[in-house]
Chain A
């Protein structure tokens, strides 16, 4: 896997490169701002760009805009955005055009290396990785009388993991149940939430997110 990193904090940039490098991931270039990122992507055509949200000059949401632009130029590029704090609006902006091959994680998740590498791999494979905290905020933000109330606690857990972008096998692993059980839960959830069943994984994530954000199904 070939990766570029855009992160303005030197220590963190080097730490990330070191970590990924020692895991056998090829870090082909690093940059400190959006312009550098776009140049790196144009030059090296990496598989994945790992991008910090806040970068110079305004230190607000440059990373999101840069990621969207990089994807516009290279639709096959996968992007994993790292953020110091959770902002569901950033995730929504990033994934406005679909969630496939995109990730949005809190920076400190990188420290849990196994889970981070798993999320990175998922994004590289065209899947989705959304931070559990974003999902949690989306879930708790729902109106009291929403359709979510009809879900059982177990189904809520499954929905949350689905929204993070996990596949059936991974969900089964996390919840320590069989894949068959996960299947049953998912069918039940989709029925209760009025979502079209039986879709591909990334479309499924998008549908769940759209539902959680209160937008109409595409």
Chain B
């Protein structure tokens, strides 16, 4: 509570100071408009550079007030250069915003607590006010006696609470144009660099997670299968020495293991980056998947632009795995695949009218999808009540 009050008082102080600089901004804006108008007919041109100088002075006061650091370049000396100067342009933008929005928010910020104070104290001084003009604030009904005045006083806390709620945000709103437009352009660049560095680190993380995933699937799948082949072959060789007729069982199992290793290797290789993505794009690739599905599958695509390849590959993999499950386990008669871009996210959905009851358990194909989706910071949702229908939804940040 104490902290809220402190924040409100702090916001009030900033708003009042901002109101002062907004009044100066209004004066300057009028001057700028006049000079601009005169420049259109030619006579104002000599005044352009000095006006920009005045503008810089006003903006600099605001920079100091908000601790934004000095402007990054001196004011140009000629009218032509002034028009082209990015810092001056941004200062103009700030001037327009601060003279209107800044002034208004300062006024509201000042008036709200004032209403609170007036309303609370109104019973003490209402007798000296003309009853017909009403109370403080936007009150229109007449206040004739103490009872009326006490009702007004009861509104005081409402104004106070409103002030506490609104003032901090209002102060931020008032300072927002300055914080955006009066910062040196260099610091914006630094901000952008930091942002790029963060996204790049995230991309590298995703890359490492992807490599880890591939390593895992090679190790857990292919490598173990091949070891099993070797173990079973060794076992078969020993069996041949003892009794050749018993070797057939081990050989049979060894061959199955070798086939399983090949199948897993194929899925790992295909899963790394399906070649069809490069030639046909995600839309074409999904079209191929839907066409190849054993269950009749409709397709709805809204993909105006491409995403990062690794993201598309993951979406493709998820749909491929999901459709495999649909044809193998669901008993569905129809499936539907949708893929759409929602802002910075790629959202794919696979739905079927099958039996439901699909589960995201260890070792399932769904777990593979989840791992892969999470490597890209994406999310996977599965809804599959017993009796169906099953809907698998994957949301992936596009990376572009």
**Chain A positions near chain B (C-beta within 8 angstroms):** 9, 11-12, 15-16, 18-19, 22-23, 54, 59, 84, 107-108, 110-113, 116
Whether B235 pairs with A84 at a CB distance below 8 angstroms is no
B360 on the A face (CB < 8 A) = no
Residues of A within 8 A of B225 (CB): 11
Contacts A11-B257, A11-B260, A59-B216 hold; do A84 and B227 have CB atoms under 8 A apart? yes
Most A CB atoms within 10 A — which of B216, B225, B238? B238
The answer on a CB contact under 8 Å between B234 and A110 is yes
Which of chain B's residues have a CB closer than 8 A to the CB of A113?
A: 234-235, 237-238
B226 close to chain A: CB less than 8 A: yes
* Given A22-B238, A108-B226, A113-B237, CB of A84 within 8 Å of CB of B231: no
Partner of A12, one of B224, B235, B238, B250: B224
In chain B, positions 317-347 with a C-beta closer than 8 Å to chain A are none
Partner of A110, one of B216, B227, B250: B227
Contact across chains for B219 and A84 when beta carbons are under 8 A apart: yes
Looking across the interface, which residue of chain B has its beta carbon closest to that of A82? B227
| Residues from chain A with Cβ under 8 Å of B369 in the complex | none
**Residues of A contacting B205 with CB < 8 Å?**
none
Tell me the bound Cα distance from A158 to B232 in angstroms.
31
Q: Is the CB of B223 closer than 8 A to any CB of chain A?
A: yes
| Closest residue of A by beta carbon distance from B220 | A9
Question: With A22-B239, A84-B219 as given contacts, are A12 and B234 in contact (CB-CB < 8 Å)?
Answer: no
Shortest Cβ gap from B259 to chain A (Å): 12
- Interface check B133, CB cutoff 8 A: no
Q: Which residues of B contact A22 (CB under 8 A)?
A: 235, 238-239
Interface class of chain B by DSSP: helix
Residues in B neighbouring A84, C-beta threshold 8 A: 219, 223-224, 227
* Least CB separation from A13: chain B residue: B228
Q: In the complex, A181 Cα to B310 Cα: how many Å?
A: 61
Residues of B within 8 A of A107 (CB): 224, 227
How far is A54 from B231 in the complex, measured between Cα atoms in Å?
18
A12: chain B residues within 8 A (beta carbon): 224, 227-228, 231
> Would you list which residues of chain B between 214 and 265 have a CB under 8 Å from chain A?
216, 219-220, 223-235, 237-239, 250, 253, 257, 260
A15 and B260 contact, CB distance less than 8 A: no
Interfacial chain A residues near B239, Cβ < 8 Å: 22
Chain B: which residue is nearest A22 at the CB level?
A: B235
- Encode B192-231 as 1/0 by CB contact (under 8 A) with A: 0000000000000000000000001001100111111111
14 more A-B contacts (CB under 8 A) besides A19-B231, A19-B234, A111-B229?
Answer: A11-B225, A12-B224, A12-B231, A15-B231, A15-B235, A15-B257, A22-B239, A23-B238, A84-B224, A107-B224, A108-B230, A110-B227, A113-B234, A116-B234
State A191–B235 Cα separation when bound (angstroms): 42
For A19, the chain B residues whose CB sits under 8 A away are: 231-232, 234-235, 238
Q: Are A110 and B238 in contact (CB under 8 A)?
A: no
Identify B228's interface contact among A11, A23, A116, CB under 8 A: A11
* A54 to B220 alpha-carbon distance, docked (Å): 9
